[in-house]
């Protein structure tokens, strides 16, 4: 590994030049006119994979995107698949990354052209996609190339799954994963999965991520009059939908963040002593939350409570109301139909169907109390399940050892409050352990202006990937 490590760091200039090349391809999947750039970025990866000796490299067509506004359907960018090694004596690791990026424009407040990588004196590599997710995705390729330069054989078989629609809902990916996970499919024979598409919790200490919350998004519709009414003419004579809706929304969550839907906490996995132990060493404080929000809005100053609130307890947020007056100024309208939007972040072992049942029952019971002539409808707009991995699995043990070797510290074991749906898709389709291995820092500004990846995170990230693969190879699967 020493030779591989040296090859990683000796070729720093090369890896950075390659990142600059990739950043210069504005592969914004969310912009129709830039869809060809996404395809071009996929081709760029294919060329490198072929050069490195990947076999079975394919740009898998996953069909067309249905476009809402009646325009012609747009072809989806291909999913790039590749295989590096097929030695049955070695373990096979599936790695996932995405080669599309968020939109970006200088006018949004970027200090420099977002599609031109700039290496700052402080080591920041600034450019759209540097951290999300071009740097981490390419890290796997350069880890292989470093092995080749060092004359060291890769100790595992690697399969890659690189998509070009992650920033636009990963359309078409689930079907591909489900199909390729079948016996004889592309992913058949995979022993573990590693996804590098998230971030350290903070800016100094590496982490491994083993859990994500799910989300169930609800629309609560209250209807009454057939049309919007003038409050001068009708105020005081009719049951107003807004009055009912605000009343109902106020019964969902209390100001301390406690969800008020009966039964909602019943299936939440209890905190074990081992889990409680994990929180003790995590590098985090209430100051991190307050810095991130630019306020003193934190619900508590207790570190563990705060992190559990973020990662492993459900939460309910009220997002807004559709159909009511929502712009500056004043309008004396009684809206006829209003839709309250809220979502519940769910955790193991909450079941989305059960969550929907509980929400509907609660809203119906509260609405009955109002004695209103209006009508309500509650719909779960979409639901994604939570995910949690077994951190005692050899996949995690290998990654923990690799972090210790490269960074000299034991990584924090973290979860995230949001969702990365592909994680659960892989786990459910393959029934294999999935690990989230972040490369960048918490302040990389992934979807924001001046996105960056620190030079040190990039280089030691490549080294970490290489080291992880060696630890995987060495791990006992017993």
Task: Choose the stretch contacting its own copies; rule: CB under 8 A; options: 95-103, 263-271, 272-280, 333-341.
Answer: 333-341
Catalytic residue, candidates 37, 100, 145, 463: 100
Q: Should residue 256 be labelled a site residue for its own copies when binding is judged by CB under 8 A?
A: yes
Catalytic residue, candidates 133, 145, 163, 166: 166
CB-CB contact of 189 with 318 (8 Å): no
The distance of closest approach from Cβ of residue 470 to its own copies in the complex, given in angstroms and rounded to an integer, is 33
Q: Should residue 66 be labelled a site residue for its own copies when binding is judged by CB under 8 A?
A: no
Nearer to its own copies, 47 or 333 (CB): 333
Q: Should residue 363 be labelled a site residue for its own copies when binding is judged by CB under 8 A?
A: no
Q: Should residue 301 be labelled a site residue for its own copies when binding is judged by CB under 8 A?
A: no
Q: Should residue 203 be labelled a site residue for its own copies when binding is judged by CB under 8 A?
A: no
Q: Beta strand pairing status for 337-346 and 214-223?
A: antiparallel
Q: Is 251 marked as a binding-site residue? A: no
Q: Should residue 158 be labelled a site residue for its own copies when binding is judged by CB under 8 A?
A: no
Nearer to its own copies, 93 or 222 (CB): 222
The distance of closest approach from Cβ of residue 420 to its own copies in the complex, given in angstroms and rounded to an integer, is 10
Residues 231-250 that bind its own copies (CB under 8 A): 231-240, 242-244, 246-247, 249-250
Q: Across 167-213, where does the E strand assignment appear?
A: 192-195, 207-212
| Helix pair angle (135-150, 35-52), 10° resolution | 20
H/E segment holding residue 56: strand 55-60
In a 10 Å sphere around its CB, with 0-12 CB exposed, 13-18 middle and 19+ buried, how is residue 225 labelled?
middle
Q: Should residue 201 be labelled a site residue for its own copies when binding is judged by CB under 8 A?
A: no
SS3 405: helix
Distance CA 302, CA 174 (A): 39
Q: Is 345 marked as a binding-site residue? A: yes
Q: Which of 80, 138, 321, 436 binds its own copies (CB under 8 A)?
A: 321
Site string for its own copies, 407-436 (x = CB under 8 A): ---------xxxx-----------------
The DSSP symbol for 446 reads: T
Task: Choose the stretch contacting its own copies; rule: CB under 8 A; options: 138-146, 147-155, 174-182, 314-322.
Answer: 314-322
CB-CB contact of 409 with 169 (8 Å): no
CB-CB contact of 230 with 334 (8 Å): yes
Task: Choose the stretch contacting its own copies; rule: CB under 8 A; options: 91-99, 136-144, 148-156, 373-381.
Answer: 373-381
In a 10 Å sphere around its CB, with 0-12 CB exposed, 13-18 middle and 19+ buried, how is residue 353 labelled?
exposed
Beta-bridged to residue 473, according to DSSP, are: none
Q: Should residue 30 be labelled a site residue for its own copies when binding is judged by CB under 8 A?
A: no
Q: Is 147 marked as a binding-site residue? A: no
Q: Should residue 332 be labelled a site residue for its own copies when binding is judged by CB under 8 A?
A: yes
Distance CA 191, CA 193 (A): 7
Q: Is 48 marked as a binding-site residue? A: no
CB-CB contact of 318 with 249 (8 Å): yes
Say which residues have a Cβ less than 8 Å from residue 133's Cβ, sequence separation at least 6: 97, 98, 99, 101, 166, 196, 197
Q: Is 174 marked as a binding-site residue? A: no
Rg (alpha carbons) of the chain, rounded to whole number: 25
Say which residues have a Cβ less than 8 Å from residue 302's Cβ, sequence separation at least 6: 286
CB-CB contact of 195 with 209 (8 Å): no
The distance of closest approach from Cβ of residue 240 to its own copies in the complex, given in angstroms and rounded to an integer, is 6
Q: Should residue 326 be labelled a site residue for its own copies when binding is judged by CB under 8 A?
A: yes
Of 245, 241, 220, 216, which Cα lies nearest the Cα of 231? 241
Q: Is 166 designated active site?
A: yes
Q: Is 167 marked as a binding-site residue? A: yes
Nearer to its own copies, 197 or 244 (CB): 244
The distance of closest approach from Cβ of residue 201 to its own copies in the complex, given in angstroms and rounded to an integer, is 11
Q: Should residue 150 be labelled a site residue for its own copies when binding is judged by CB under 8 A?
A: no
Q: Residue 125 has which token pair?
A: 């590599």
CB-CB contact of 216 with 356 (8 Å): yes
Residues in contact with its own copies, total (CB under 8 A)?
Answer: 79
The distance of closest approach from Cβ of residue 249 to its own copies in the complex, given in angstroms and rounded to an integer, is 5
Task: Choose the stretch contacting its own copies; rule: CB under 8 A; options: 158-166, 254-262, 275-283, 385-393.
Answer: 254-262
Q: Should residue 303 be labelled a site residue for its own copies when binding is judged by CB under 8 A?
A: no
Q: Should residue 169 be labelled a site residue for its own copies when binding is judged by CB under 8 A?
A: no
Q: Should residue 171 be labelled a site residue for its own copies when binding is judged by CB under 8 A?
A: no
Phi-psi region of 173 (alpha: psi -120 to 50; beta: other; left: phi over 0): alpha
Binding-site members for substrate are 197, 230, 332, 345, 419, 447
Give catalytic residues, as residue numbers.
Answer: 100, 166
Binding-site members for Mn(2+) are 98, 132, 167, 197, 447
């Amino acid at each position: 590994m020493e030779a591989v490590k040296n090859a990683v760091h000796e070729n720093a200039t090369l890896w950075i030049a390659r990142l600059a090349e990739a950043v210069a391809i504005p592969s914004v999947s969310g912009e129709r006119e830039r869809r060809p750039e996404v395809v071009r970025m996929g081709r760029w990866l294919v060329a490198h994979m072929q050069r490195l000796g990947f076999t079975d490299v394919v740009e898998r067509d996953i069909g067309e995107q249905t476009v809402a506004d009646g325009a012609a359907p747009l072809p989806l960018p291909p999913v790039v698949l590749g295989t590096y090694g097929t030695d049955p004596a070695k373990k096979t690791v599936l790695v996932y990354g995405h080669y599309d990026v968020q939109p970006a424009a200088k006018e949004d407040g970027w200090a420099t052209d977002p599609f031109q990588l700039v290496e700052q004196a402080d080591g920041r590599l600034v450019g759209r996609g540097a951290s999300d997710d071009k740097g981490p995705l390419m890290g796997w390729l350069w880890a292989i190339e470093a092995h080749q330069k060092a004359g060291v054989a890769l100790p595992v078989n690697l399969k890659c799954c690189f998509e070009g629609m992650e920033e636009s809902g990963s359309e078409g990916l689930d079907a591909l994963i489900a199909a390729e996970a079948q016996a004889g499919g592309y992913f058949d024979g995979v022993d573990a999965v590693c996804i590098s598409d998230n971030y350290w919790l903070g800016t100094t200490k590496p982490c491994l991520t083993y859990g994500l919350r799910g989300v169930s998004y609800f629309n609560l519709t209250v209807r009454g009059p057939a049309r919007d009414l003038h409050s001068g003419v009708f105020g005081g004579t009719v049951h107003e939908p807004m009055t009912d809706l605000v009343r109902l929304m106020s019964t969902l969550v209390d100001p301390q963040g406690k969800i008020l839907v009966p039964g909602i906490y019943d299936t939440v996995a209890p905190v074990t002593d081992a889990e409680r132990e994990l929180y003790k060493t995590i590098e985090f404080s209430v100051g991190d939350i307050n810095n991130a929000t630019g306020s003193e809005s934190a619900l508590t100053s207790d570190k563990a409570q705060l992190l559990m609130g973020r990662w492993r307890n459900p939460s309910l947020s009220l997002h807004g109301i559709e159909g009511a007056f929502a712009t500056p100024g004043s309008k004396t309208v009684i809206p006829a139909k209003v839709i309250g939007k809220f979502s519940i972040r769910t955790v193991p072992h909450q079941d989305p169907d059960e969550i929907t049942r509980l929400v509907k029952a609660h809203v119906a019971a509260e609405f009955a109390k109002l004695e209103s002539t209006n009508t309500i409808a509650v719909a779960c707009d979409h639901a994604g399940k939570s995910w949690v991995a077994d951190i005692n699995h050899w996949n995690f043990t290998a990654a923990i050892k690799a972090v210790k070797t490269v960074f000299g510290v034991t990584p924090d074991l973290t979860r995230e409050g949001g969702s990365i749906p592909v994680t659960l898709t892989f786990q459910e389709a393959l029934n294999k352990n999935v690990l989230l291995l972040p490369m960048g820092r918490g302040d990389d500004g992934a979807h924001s202006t001046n996105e960056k990846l620190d030079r040190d995170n990039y280089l030691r990230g490549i080294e970490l990937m290489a080291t992880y693969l060696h630890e995987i190879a060495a791990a006992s699967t017993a």
